[in-house]
Amino acid sequence: MLEIRNLCAGVDGKEILKNLNLTVKPGEVHAVMGPNGSGKSTLASVLAGKPEFEVTSGTVTYNGHDLLELAPEERAQQGIFLAFQYPVEIPGVNSTYFLKAALNECRKAKGQPELDAVEFLAVVKQKIKLLDLDPSLLNRPVNEGFSGGEKKRNEIFQMAVLEPKLAILDETDSGLDIDALKIVAGGVTKLRRPDNSAIVITHYQRLLNYIVPDYVHVLADGQIIKSGGKELAFELEERGYDWVLEGAGVK
Amino acid sequence: MAQVVNTPTRRQYAPASVRDPLHGNSDKLLNCFKQLPAELNPLWLKVLRASALHKFISQGFPTVKDEEWRFTNVAPILELALHTPEQPARKLTEADLKQFSFGDLDTRRIVFVDGHFAPELSNAAGNGVDVMSMRNALNSPWVERHLARHASFEHNAFAALNTALFHDGVFVSVPAHRVLERPIHILHVVTEPQSGAIFQPRNLIVAGDGASAKVIEHYVSLGNGAAEPYLTNAVTELVLGEEALIEHIKFQVESEKAFHVATLQAHQAKGSVWTSHSISTGARLARNTIQTVLGDKGCNCIMNGLYLGRGDQLVDHHTVMDHAKPHCESHEYYHGILSDRSRGVFNGKIFVRKDAQKTNAKQTNRNLLLSDDAVIDTKPQLEIFADDVKCTHGATIGQLDAKSLFYLQARGIPKAMARRMLIYAFASEVIERISLPQIREELDKVLLERFAK
């Protein structure tokens, strides 16, 4: 589904990802862990197409196509979803209007008919339960006045509505208390399907108690320095990152 | 809006060349004045007109050396052969006006075609409410009492010119304690003007104690817009009795060849509430002077405005909130969206006079610049002579927020559509303050057309 080969990328002329390799197959959940500043969020931004990030070399192939050729909206329409670490507040843009437009653009790209208001609301009603989100939030402008937890739940709610093929969760657990974390992780788990994949970026192991990964990768200094199964996350939790970094000669 | 600007941003101009301020027109003006028919010149008005003409001839048109006109150069107006058309250039029918209605909004409409009252297209009067041609109202004691008593022409050359030479306009009188259900729609249509045609509507709206009304002052050009440059020079005075409630919507969508200069002056009595909306999207040069005197305790004024500029348009708002008495409140919200090489000017003055303790005044001006060549000159001006007051102001200038744009795109919304959503969001904060849904819908349409690409 996703194949990243020797990816080098950065921002403002500073190289952050250095020869990064990662392969994600359908149905797999990959956790990307690592210390602060290792390039985790850069990876998420590059995959979603954030304009200020520049790819200097390497390839990213998504379902057989060159992902880096696509505009951010085209990536989203092709099924890539980024759950933002810091969702933006957009005053004046109504949440429901925004999400309906987004869903219909994604449907159009897939050759599916657009949903009218009634059909859309039926989808919303069904998905909003998954995230235990207050429906009145949807009458507000996008993320405006939402609490930190509400913003994160709203990201996963949008994901539930858009039904992406590849979800990238960028530190979705940061700033969440344990109850909110359970709701968010529960939502993600319920949305797992054999043909959908996810990259879960996190600093802490605790999220992985709820979203159980197939693979765990340690990202440091722009490269994946160690990969393993879910037990690697426990080991990192117990022993910290230093032993991996030293083993890889990064530290 | 990233950048907060507290000091005025300005753009330098070469000083206007020294010129005859009237461009050799003073004889012509005197002639126009002398030729005013008697019915337009009752004695009380003749005195005012003479004094206004004297003022105008001695001052001439303003130049960019005049502080109030620094950023708005009216020199191109003076290059026109200004003249007042004696007849409408063409006759209009009900069908021609369809495009200037607001959906299913039922209004009392009074129509002027090329400056001339069109009774056959008007349906405004009735039920004891006067909505009439000013020409037919000059004998009313209300007109004599209020006309030119509020909009001073001392320091306003265009108001002086209008006062000296106006032929017609609208007089509205809403009796005390009357609540008008149907909004009054004052429609000024310019059809096919010759170059240099000048239209000088003169409007007076008097709301008695406890009266309530909505007034739409609407300036349009026919069809795709007049091909020749012309000047609209309007003055509207608005007198609010005690506890009167007026919502005034000025909607200026004239041809982008036109010059539009307008003064709107309100005077508010005790406990009155005036909501002013100024929507300015048309004209090559639009200068809106909007002023109120909060003349007694408990007055409230909202000035709400949206201006759009494109091409080489210039749109200028000069506002004055004059807090003359204590315990009054004013809120001002102006949003501008400027693209191409267009320019915006916002100058918001707040006076808090010595008597005006416990004043609460708030002003914000936000600007969205959609191109590198668009310019905004924004300047708050607070003059406070009382000590127990709350006054705030803020101006921002910015571009579309890149983070918001990316967020929308990352959900599958194409960039052009995402831009439109953000532009619309910026404008909608102002539009939503208008109470009439049909007007909001019309504005939605204007925005959609403008930013559809």
Which of the residues A82, A85, A93 would you substitute to probe the B interface, choosing the one with the greatest number of B C-beta atoms within 10 Å? Answer: A93
For residue B418, list chain A residues with Cβ-Cβ distance below 8 A: 73
Q: In one letter, which amino acid is B440?
A: R
For residue B428, list chain A residues with Cβ-Cβ distance below 8 A: 92
Q: Any CB–CB contact under 8 A between B401 and chain A?
A: yes
Closest-CA distance, B409 to chain A, in angstroms, reads 5
pLDDT tens for each residue of B424-445: 999 999 999 999 999 999 999 8
Say if residues B49 and B11 touch (Cβ distance below 8 Å). no
pLDDT tens for each residue of B368-385: 999 999 999 999 999 999
Say if residues A159 and A191 touch (Cβ distance below 8 Å). yes
For residue B417, list chain A residues with Cβ-Cβ distance below 8 A: 101, 105
Q: How many CB atoms lie within 10 A of CB B404?
A: 21
Chain B residue whose CA is closest to A103: B412
Determine the average pLDDT of the residues in B292-320.
Answer: 98
Say if residues B197 and B221 touch (Cβ distance below 8 Å). no
Q: What is the rounded CA–CA span in Å between residue B178 and residue B30?
A: 42
Inspect the interface and report whether the beta carbons of A90 and B411 lie closer than 8 Å. no
For residue B414, list chain A residues with Cβ-Cβ distance below 8 A: 71, 73, 105
Report the C-alpha dihedral over residues B85, B87, B92, B98, rounded to 10 degrees.
Answer: 40
| Residues contacting residue A202 through CB under 8 Å, at least 6 positions apart | A31, A32, A33, A169, A171, A172, A173, A208
**Which of A52, A91, A162 is the closest to B411 by Cβ?**
A162
Determine the average pLDDT of the residues in B259-273.
Answer: 98
**Inter-axis angle of helices B157-165 and B43-59, nearest 10:** 140
Determine the average pLDDT of the residues in B40-59.
Answer: 93
Q: What is the rounded CA–CA span in Å between residue A20 and residue A39?
A: 10
Closest-CA distance, A231 to chain B, in angstroms, reads 33
**Which of B412, B426, B429 is the closest to A102 by Cβ?**
B412
pLDDT tens for each residue of A164-191: 999 999 998 888 888 888 888 888 888 8
Which of the residues B306, B401, B409, B417 would you substitute to probe the A interface, choosing the one with the greatest number of A C-beta atoms within 10 Å? Answer: B409
Q: What is the mean pLDDT of chain B?
A: 92
Q: How many CB atoms lie within 10 A of CB A6?
A: 12
Residue B435: predicted pLDDT:
97
Residue A117: predicted pLDDT:
93
Residue B15: predicted pLDDT:
39
Residue A174: predicted pLDDT:
84
Residue B4: predicted pLDDT:
42
Closest-CA distance, B304 to chain A, in angstroms, reads 16
Q: What is the rounded CA–CA span in Å between residue B175 and residue B173?
A: 6
Report the C-alpha dihedral over residues B354, B356, B359, B364, rounded to 10 degrees.
Answer: -60
Say if residues B430 and B446 touch (Cβ distance below 8 Å). no
Inspect the interface and report whether the beta carbons of B418 and A71 lie closer than 8 Å. no
**Confidence check: pLDDT of B226 > 70:** no
Inspect the interface and report whether the beta carbons of B412 and A76 lie closer than 8 Å. yes
Inspect the interface and report whether the beta carbons of B412 and A71 lie closer than 8 Å. no
Q: What is the rounded CA–CA span in Å between residue B240 and residue B301?
A: 11
Q: How many CB atoms lie within 10 A of CB A18?
A: 17
Residue B71: predicted pLDDT:
95
Q: Any CB–CB contact under 8 A between A241 and chain B?
A: no
List the structure tokens of B373.
Answer: 């060549």
Closest-CA distance, B413 to chain A, in angstroms, reads 5
Inspect the interface and report whether the beta carbons of B404 and A88 lie closer than 8 Å. yes
Chain A residue whose CA is closest to B417: A101
Residue B29: predicted pLDDT:
79
Tell me the CB-side half-sphere exposure of residue A116, using CA atoms within 13 A. 1
List the structure tokens of B295.
Answer: 């003349």
**Which of A75, A91, A105 is the closest to B413 by Cβ?**
A105
Q: What is the mean pLDDT of chain A?
A: 92
Inspect the interface and report whether the beta carbons of A72 and B404 lie closer than 8 Å. no
For residue B424, list chain A residues with Cβ-Cβ distance below 8 A: 92
Chain Cα centroid distance, residue B8:
22
Q: How confident is the model at residue B18 (pLDDT cuts 50, 70, 90)?
A: very low
Residue B3: predicted pLDDT:
43
Locus of tokens 């913003």: A151
Residue B1: predicted pLDDT:
39
Say if residues A123 and A67 touch (Cβ distance below 8 Å). no
Closest-CA distance, A5 to chain B, in angstroms, reads 23
Determine the average pLDDT of the residues in B201-217.
Answer: 98
pLDDT tens for each residue of B104-140: 999 999 999 999 999 999 998 777 788 999 999 999 9
Q: Any CB–CB contact under 8 A between A82 and chain B?
A: yes
> CA-CA distances (angstroms) from residue B93 to B121, B160, B189, B213, B222?
7, 33, 12, 27, 12
Chain Cα centroid distance, residue B203:
12
Strands B231-240 and B198-199: parallel
**Confidence check: pLDDT of B6 > 50:** no
Residue B240: predicted pLDDT:
98
**Confidence check: pLDDT of B239 > 90:** yes
Strand partners, A198: A29, A167
Q: Any CB–CB contact under 8 A between A144 and chain B?
A: no
Strands B108-113 and B184-190: parallel
Residue B99: predicted pLDDT:
93
List the structure tokens of B360.
Answer: 């609460």
Q: What is the rounded CA–CA span in Å between residue B255 and residue A171?
A: 53
pLDDT tens for each residue of B160-203: 999 999 999 999 999 999 999 999 999 999 999 999 999 999 99
The runs of H, that is alpha helices, within chain A are 40-48, 72-77, 95-109, 117-131, 148-162, 178-190, 231-239, 242-248
**Which of B406, B410, B421 is the closest to A93 by Cβ?**
B421
**Which of A71, A88, A109 is the closest to B403 by Cβ?**
A88
Instruction: Give the closest residue to B61 by CA, choosing from B378, B306, B336, B285.
Output: B285
List the structure tokens of A160.
Answer: 């539930």
Residue A48: predicted pLDDT:
97
Q: What is the rounded CA–CA span in Å between residue A183 and residue A157?
A: 11
Residue B24: predicted pLDDT:
65
**Confidence check: pLDDT of B20 > 60:** no
- Percent of chain B past pLDDT 90, that is, above it, reads 84
Residue A237: predicted pLDDT:
84
Say if residues B99 and B3 touch (Cβ distance below 8 Å). no
Which of the residues A11, A88, A95 would you substitute to probe the B interface, choosing the one with the greatest number of B C-beta atoms within 10 Å? Answer: A88
